[in-house]
């Protein structure tokens, strides 16, 4: 399947908090969290063609830290990560929008749905930042605990001494 087993945004439930589904579509490219143009178009309820058209018409609003054009190698890597053999034919390079780029896209699209859904996009990126910070904190705490345990544990030389034999 195109999405490698993850839930498609086509089937995204119409709930008050769809950011979990958006968060599942966020990828990491060049060390940045991004939404691919196909996914962002679905979120904003527009065609990919319209999203790309508005992006091209407003290039001054999309600096390199807002919008990335994926290389073939990066696209192949994303396909492998998602266990997908094909994402359909494309004539143009895939675009990836950072959090700021996704919000800027909502402003240039200026549709009510894009404006409404941009709130969920922000929440999804914020939630991922929160999860990453929690994982970092837990990793630091685990390392501190490991060091404390290793200091408190007798060395192997002490534990391998033969016990005295009683007479």
Map tokens 């600096």 to a residue: 63
Map tokens 């979120």 to a residue: 43
Q: Mean pLDDT, to the nearest integer, of 48-57?
A: 93
Q: Mean pLDDT, to the nearest integer, of 73-82?
A: 78
Predicted pLDDT at 1: 41
pLDDT at 6 over 80: no
pLDDT at 87 over 50: yes
Element spanning 34, H or E: strand 32-36
Q: How many whole angstroms separate alpha carbon 70 and alpha carbon 65? A: 13
Q: Mean pLDDT, to the nearest integer, of 35-62?
A: 91
Q: Mean pLDDT, to the nearest integer, of 95-116?
A: 87
Q: Give residue-wise pLDDT tens across range 114-167.
A: 877 877 777 777 787 788 777 777 777 777 877 777 777 765 555 556 666 666
More confident residue, 11 or 21: 21
pLDDT at 89 over 60: no
Q: How many whole angstroms separate alpha carbon 41 and alpha carbon 94? A: 12
Predicted pLDDT at 17: 42
Predicted pLDDT at 91: 64
pTM of the model: 0.62
pLDDT at 95 over 70: yes
Q: How many CB atoms lie within 10 A of CB 23?
A: 19
Q: Burial, 53: exposed, middle or buried (Cβ in 10 Å; 0-12, 13-18, 19+)?
A: middle
Mean pLDDT, the chain, integer: 76
Predicted pLDDT at 160: 56
pLDDT at 27 over 80: yes
For the chain, give me the number of helices (H) and strands (E)?
Answer: 7, 4
Q: How many whole angstroms separate alpha carbon 147 and alpha carbon 85? A: 44
């Amino acid at each position: 399947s195109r999405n490698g087993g993850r839930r498609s945004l086509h089937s995204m439930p119409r709930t008050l908090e769809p950011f979990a589904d958006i968060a599942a579509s966020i990828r990491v490219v060049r060390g940045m969290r991004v939404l691919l143009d196909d996914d962002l178009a679905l979120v904003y309820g527009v065609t990919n063609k319209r999203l790309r058209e508005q992006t091209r018409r407003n290039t001054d609003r999309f600096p390199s830290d807002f919008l990335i054009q994926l290389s073939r190698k990066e696209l192949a890597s994303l396909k492998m990560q998602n266990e997908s053999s094909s994402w359909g034919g494309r004539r143009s390079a895939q675009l990836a929008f950072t959090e700021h780029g996704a919000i800027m896209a909502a402003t240039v699209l200026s549709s009510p749905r894009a404006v409404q859904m941009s709130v969920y996009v922000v929440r999804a990126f914020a939630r991922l930042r929160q999860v990453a910070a929690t994982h970092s904190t837990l990793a630091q705490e685990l390392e501190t605990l490991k060091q404390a345990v290793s200091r408190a544990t007798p060395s192997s030389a002490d534990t391998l001494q033969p016990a005295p034999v009683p007479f």
